[in-house]
Structure 1
Amino acid sequence: MSFPFRLERAAAAQPKKDLPPDLIPREILFGNPERASPQISPDGKKLAYLAPHDGVLNVWVRTVGKDDDRVVTSDKKRGIRFFGWQFDSEHILYIQDRDGDENWHFYQTNLNTKNTRDLTPFEGVQAQPIGTDPKFPDTFLVGLNLEDRRRHDVYRINLKNGAVELDTRNPGDVLDWSVDHNLQVRAAQAFAPDGGTVIRIREKPGAEWREFQRWGPEESFGGIYAFTPDNQSVWIGSSVGANAVRLLEVNLTTGATRVIAEDPQYDLGGVMINPKTNRLEAVAFVRARTEWQVLDPAVKADFDVLRQVRDGDFSVASRDLEDKTWVVAYVLDNAPVTYYLYDRSTKRATLLFTNRPALEKYKLAKMQPISFKARDGMTIHGYLTLPVDKEPKNLPLVLNVHGGPWARDVWGLNNEVQWLANRGYAVLQINFRGSTGYGKAYLNAGDREWAGKMHTDLLDGKRWAIEQGYADPNKVCIYGGSYGGYATLVGLAFTPEEFTCGVDIVGPSNLVTLLKSIPPYWEPLRALFRRRVGHEETEKEFLESRSPLFRASQIKAPLLIAQGANDPRVPQKESDQIVEAMRKNNLPVEYLVFPDEGHGFARPENRLKFYAAAEAFLARYLGGRVEPPGENEKWDSLKK
């Protein structure tokens, strides 16, 4: 079962008259996709996908080769974002939380009756997918923090009668579990007290766990991808003995290790494994763009054909169990995502749909990979997007900072970036030190550098854009969510002369209170935070020195803050306290609180209101174009 990520959703907006023909309405960029995330059923006879029903994303199903599309789920509020097929091809499984609290529940929908039941009906408990296997089609392994909110034990769910049975108890430090091809929990991954990684293995259920791998805290994030088909070895992503994460095959008994795939600079980006034979077929490395390396000759001809179907970076999004039919997604930087149904026997790809066909009538901006030298000589990577049909000179610039921070921006269509470019802004996305994907030296260079070198990388990127002539030095806004929101606050509070304005979405303002309020089930991650950010108990002074809250009085530029009231990662207090500090000093801040959201904005109405507010704010200080808000986009009721 797979769960597609990264979907923007919004309610239908009222059409607006007299807009310039090249101004892309927010509804087209941030509204519901027309159709998205198609998945072929295990038996290859049906296709499921996400599409709106009464303005809310739900799962639809049609018979392959027919036009009998019908909606099968009935979500009424947040919309379904992550779903998968049950192996019987007669049920859909999906997850949903409540108002952004991230206490996910698993739901099962019967295609024939359309009845839906909650498989994990436990209040205040978060469900995590652990494993499924086609040989055991009626069993689903799920992690639940049912006994102790700080840990996820493994439970075995009977998909026929809904029975939930404890399978494996978490000793308290395990963050991730891996199952073999007999659907048995055989591996556990934890963080050591020093922030390093420990992987434990057991021979069978009930057997003693033994330490299998231990990596120091200086290694990149890695772990087990899968067991080999014979269950005698595992495929592991690890940077031990190299700069970047490699794919290794490690024998469980002897420890014998073989390098399967590697790149000297870029971390392993993903693997493709046959869902029935469990053979390793291909690996991906995300360089400036995503590139696939074929390992199994059986799929080489397929990859050769798929590379010729159309431009863009492709991935196999879904496949049936007999491996006759693939769903293939193509991503471009200046076009909507396009999905094809690929027949392996005939080597023919048939267009299914694009997720946002209304975008096809507009000329979208290209995303250019860039790099520059930071002030200490380190090479920093990123992307630059420039407005279409506008001279690329002396433009207002939005520095769009990614979240994580242990993540990275990638090439491909980014609706937020297209929105900004369409309004007349150059958009700079910087994979500052501490970002993942570029090897452990790049990652580790960000340790304990929040508001330090991670921030000066952003300033150096801004300087590069000005020196290249792209950006107007007097019109630069810093903008981001989560860590990007924190970076926005740092930009305005630590370097108040650098930016014209800032937009902070669910960003923390005080690293001490942030680290003391992490969700209970993040407890196994605490050692990682202490290693890479700082110790909230013993290094309070250091962390406060890197917290924007304590420099709020230095902020000069106007600031827009947007916060979800139910955010479990960055509680509302993080925004409340810096807004209070700024208002005490009569500093310019606009504050929006979304009462039914968490760490971001999932509900359609809320997304449109946020982007309408942000668009007006940016236009006020940078001078870009504005689409007047519709009645359903007005945000006055969210002001606090």
Structure 2
Amino acid sequence: MTLSLTTLKRRTLLAASLAAAWPWAQAQTSAEATASPLRPSADKFFRAAQMDAASLSPDGRRLAMRSMGPAGRMMLTVLTLESMTPKVVYSSDAADVGNFVWVNNERLAFDLNDRETPQGKIDAAPGLFAVQHDGSEFKQLVERQRVWARNGSDSLSLQPWNTFLLNGSAQRVGDEVLVVRPESYDSKSVGYIKLLRLNTRTGRSVEVDGPLHSVGWWADPQGELRVAQTLEAEKGALRWRNPATGQWQVLAEFNAFTEGGELAVRQIGADGKLFVTAQRGRDKQACWLLDPATGEWSAEPLAQSPQFDVDAEVIARRDKVLGLRFTIDAEVTQWLDTDMQTLQKQIDKVLPRTVNRLSVPWTGDAPWVLIEAFVDIQPTQYFLFNRETRKFSRLGGERPDINAKAMAEMDMVRIKARDGLELPAWLTLPPGAAGTKNLPMVVLVHGGPFVRGPAWRWDAEVQFLAARGFAVLQPQFRGSKGFGAAHHQAGWRQWGKAMQTDLADAAAWAIAQGIADPKRIAIAGGSYGGYAALMGLVRDPALFRCAVAWVGVTDLDMLHSVSWDDVSDAYKKHGMPKLLGDRVKDAAELKANSPLTHAASIKQPVLLAYGSADKRVPLVHGEAFSKALKASNEQVEYVVYADEGHGWRVPANQIDFWNRVAGFLDKQLAP
């Protein structure tokens, strides 16, 4: 089945009210990032979420929610649906609830994090805890500090701190969850990993037998481990345990750094067949059914798209698979179950302007349906629907203070690069600016670079820039994933070259369309996007008036030479030569494509930001580049966020940074 997003894009949304809510003619051009109804502060967009997760119990009679508590921390609440009575089962003024799963109908397991503390100051592991739905029988299972401890009168020690919940690992019956324990770690790569079943009442664990060097695991609906992924250096493999013999057999072998998309397991069906993502000689990934016992594939893909890779999450009840959920340009659910198809149509009729993600009970006949509704102009909102009474109940929202009428719509456009390659790109115009010509524009470059870029949903960075009056263009340059193997592989060894000209070609397209003012275009991004922003000033100085680069790579050789990063030696040895370039053979080329080499030639204004505790792109990248840049350029703003890592973890730092960005762009892109 081939799907299109056209049925999801409801472009009538609030169109009549946009101009009145956001009159473009009154937009300010102040050089300072001052807040006003028309030019809001970053606080509105980057403050902490109010509610960001919800999950039905396996029998569908309770709902667990992660939301902000009175102390400003994320707490865990259970709502008994028959009576609609909530009970806070865990809250703290010193930590936030992180991942959580239903162990069974009565019990939950969860870990903790601390979003108020920057990366470099975090001194505690996530730990693991369990609690009943009514808040009783609370038990700590895993230590948070790197010490052994006693759990009350329990004579057993807690599981060591390096024991982590395997997300989604609860079998929904019994009292056990699956956890993983790396036995060695050198700050770059993990050694042998144990897979264990951990009893959430007794705290005792039992190791699960699996192949050596396993890094991924899949159990069947009965909870038996059936598939494992192994990794040795660059050699990845998928292995299947034959239920008849108990022996492990190799399903596929591949280079984990360059061929990981050839075959990936997503679910094991009740009949033992595997739902997999695979290319099978095609350009685009699709979802297939594979019988590991016979090697037989489904005659046709279960889900595919002519323009996008399809990597589907499988939605299942205990007894059967209900559907497939995946992202093309936006999220799509393809129901295989006719009852769920009917239910989706009912929900969409009531909520016609949003993508509506439905969750139903894993077992039993409870009538409750969880709805997560979102769209490009609205962060996620959570609803309950009762199939018997046909009543909706609103639970809460990720950012309830966001006014959808004042947000900007995202649209995907298709641009031709200079060599003919088609470049998908997201275009977001300021609210009320449709038809306006010669707008100030930010070309926003995603990080990675070999990852899937943004999708059609609310994005704080994009919406903030649009609210400040800037058009935002997000090119999915060659190398980006999600658009087929040819598009992805066209970006290999193209840092600073064709990947860079794709960004220039996208900006030129916006000028030719009359959208962007050719004299008021900025280029911005983080990580690889920061690298590309700086190289944009090098390669196309007449096109980009200024750049904003955060946690950006400035010297390609430093990706090899800096020893205090967290990039594994295996990736440096087996991945980088193919994806970036060989450090020895291509040394001259890597130097020529490094922003640091050309710092003296950059005369445009630059805003640079780094985290002092960044292990992915260590601070030396920023220190060396800012020093070289300031020697010949007085228009440099350089900020270092103490103890932050690869991006800003603390909301206050997020807000500070984006207010700086707004002030910088207001000044540099003024008419």
- TM-score for the superposition, normalised by structure 1: 0.85
Cα deviation, residue 226, structure 1: 1.2
Other structure's SS at 2:557 match: helix
Kindly provide the CA deviation profile for residues 417-460 of structure 1, in whole angstroms up to 9, marking residues without a partner as x. Answer: 11111111011111111111111111111111121111111111
8 Å CA contact retained: 1:62, 1:69? yes
Cα deviation, residue 506, structure 1: 1.6
Which of 102, 114, 118 is the aligned partner of 1:85?
102
Other structure's SS at 1:305 match: helix
8 Å CA contact retained: 1:131, 1:142? no
Partner of 1:503: 548
Change (3 A) 1:365 1:79: same
Change (3 A) 1:188 1:45: closer
Is 1:250–2:301 an aligned residue pair?
Answer: no
Cα deviation, residue 212, structure 1: 0.9
8 Å CA contact retained: 2:481, 2:487? yes
Measure, in 1, the Cα distance between the counterparts of 2:244 and 2:569.
Answer: 26
Which of 180, 185, 188 is the aligned partner of 2:228?
188
Letter in 1 for 2:104: F
Measure, in 1, the Cα distance between the counterparts of 2:599 and 2:459.
Answer: 31
Structural mapping, 1:566-577, within 5 Å:
566-577=613-624
Change (3 A) 1:568 1:421: same
Partner of 2:140: 117
Other structure's SS at 1:322 match: coil
Measure, in 2, the Cα distance between the counterparts of 1:503 and 1:377.
Answer: 29
Partner of 2:54: 38
Q: Which stretches in structure 1 are left out of the alignment for 5+ residues?
A: 1-17, 625-640
Partner of 1:280: 321
Kindly provide the CA deviation profile for residues 139-189 of structure 1, in whole angstroms up to 9, marking residues without a partner as x. Answer: 2223332334433513313322333454357744x5433233343443233
Other structure's SS at 2:488 match: helix
Letter in 1 for 2:52: A
Partner of 1:15: none
Partner of 1:350: 393
Other structure's SS at 1:612 match: helix
Kindly provide the CA deviation profile for residues 245-277 of structure 1, in whole angstroms up to 9, marking residues without a partner as x. Answer: 111211122211113222233111422321422
Letter in 2 for 1:183: G
8 Å CA contact retained: 1:58, 1:74? yes
Partner of 2:378: 335
Partner of 1:397: 441
Q: Which stretches in structure 2 are left out of the alignment for 5+ residues?
A: 1-33, 147-160
Other structure's SS at 1:582 match: helix
Is 1:602–2:649 an aligned residue pair?
Answer: yes
Change (3 A) 1:170 1:25: farther
8 Å CA contact retained: 1:73, 1:109? no
Change (3 A) 1:361 1:369: closer
Letter in 2 for 1:356: R
Measure, in 2, the Cα distance between the counterparts of 1:457 and 1:190.
Answer: 36
Partner of 1:227: 268
Kindly provide the CA deviation profile for residues 290-335 of structure 1, in whole angstroms up to 9, marking residues without a partner as x. Answer: 3332222242211221222211222235745436323111211122
Measure, in 2, the Cα distance between the counterparts of 1:577 and 1:291.
Answer: 45
Partner of 1:563: 610
Which of 341, 344, 348 is the aligned partner of 1:303?
344
Structural mapping, 1:342-491, within 5 Å:
342-345=385-388, 348-360=391-403, 362-390=405-433, 392-405=436-449, 406-491=451-536
| % identical aligned pairs | 27
Partner of 2:280: 240
Cα deviation, residue 96, structure 1: 2.6
Measure, in 2, the Cα distance between the counterparts of 1:323 and 1:565.
Answer: 53
Kindly provide the CA deviation profile for residues 323-370 of structure 1, in whole angstroms up to 9, marking residues without a partner as x. Answer: 632311121112232222133455554332332222227521111211
8 Å CA contact retained: 1:42, 1:89? no
8 Å CA contact retained: 2:219, 2:227? yes
8 Å CA contact retained: 1:61, 1:70? yes
Partner of 2:26: none
Change (3 A) 1:621 1:141: same
Change (3 A) 1:376 1:524: closer
Letter in 2 for 1:609: D
Please identify, of 511-520 and 444-453, the stretch whose mean Cα deviation from structure 2 is larger.
Answer: 511-520
Please identify, of 68-77 and 440-449, the stretch whose mean Cα deviation from structure 2 is larger.
Answer: 68-77
Measure, in 2, the Cα distance between the counterparts of 1:168 and 1:529.
Answer: 33
Partner of 1:635: none
Change (3 A) 1:570 1:114: farther
Partner of 1:202: 241
Which of 47, 61, 64 is the aligned partner of 2:64?
47
Partner of 1:514: 559
Measure, in 2, the Cα distance between the counterparts of 1:55 and 1:135.
Answer: 31
Kindly provide the CA deviation profile for residues 571-591 of structure 1, in whole angstroms up to 9, marking residues without a partner as x. Answer: 223322222322344553322
Partner of 1:261: 303
Partner of 1:638: none
8 Å CA contact retained: 1:39, 1:319? no
Partner of 1:146: 183
Other structure's SS at 2:544 match: coil
Kindly provide the CA deviation profile for residues 53-82 of structure 1, in whole angstroms up to 9, marking residues without a partner as x. Answer: 323333333333656545443454674454
Measure, in 2, the Cα distance between the counterparts of 1:565 and 1:137.
Answer: 45
Other structure's SS at 1:60 match: strand
8 Å CA contact retained: 2:169, 2:178? yes
Letter in 2 for 1:119: V
Change (3 A) 1:384 1:159: same
8 Å CA contact retained: 2:510, 2:516? yes
Other structure's SS at 2:333 match: strand
Measure, in 2, the Cα distance between the counterparts of 1:170 and 1:623.
Answer: 60
Measure, in 2, the Cα distance between the counterparts of 1:307 and 1:433.
Answer: 35
Cα deviation, residue 559, structure 1: 1.7
8 Å CA contact retained: 2:602, 2:633? no
8 Å CA contact retained: 1:176, 1:188? yes
Is 1:57–2:83 an aligned residue pair?
Answer: no
Other structure's SS at 2:348 match: helix
Letter in 2 for 1:37: A
Change (3 A) 1:197 1:248: farther
Cα deviation, residue 280, structure 1: 2.5
Cα deviation, residue 94, structure 1: 2.9
Cα deviation, residue 612, structure 1: 1.7
Change (3 A) 1:291 1:46: closer
Change (3 A) 1:532 1:496: same
Letter in 2 for 1:418: Q
Other structure's SS at 2:217 match: strand
Letter in 2 for 1:226: Q
Other structure's SS at 1:47 match: strand
8 Å CA contact retained: 2:193, 2:215? no
Measure, in 2, the Cα distance between the counterparts of 1:219 and 1:286.
Answer: 18
Measure, in 1, the Cα distance between the counterparts of 2:593 and 2:247.
Answer: 44
Measure, in 1, the Cα distance between the counterparts of 2:251 and 2:404.
Answer: 55
The number of aligned residues is: 604
Other structure's SS at 1:108 match: strand
Change (3 A) 1:522 1:410: farther
Partner of 2:126: 105
Please identify, of 300-309 and 532-541, the stretch whose mean Cα deviation from structure 2 is larger.
Answer: 532-541
Measure, in 2, the Cα distance between the counterparts of 1:537 and 1:185.
Answer: 43
Letter in 2 for 1:139: E
- TM-score for the superposition, normalised by structure 2: 0.81
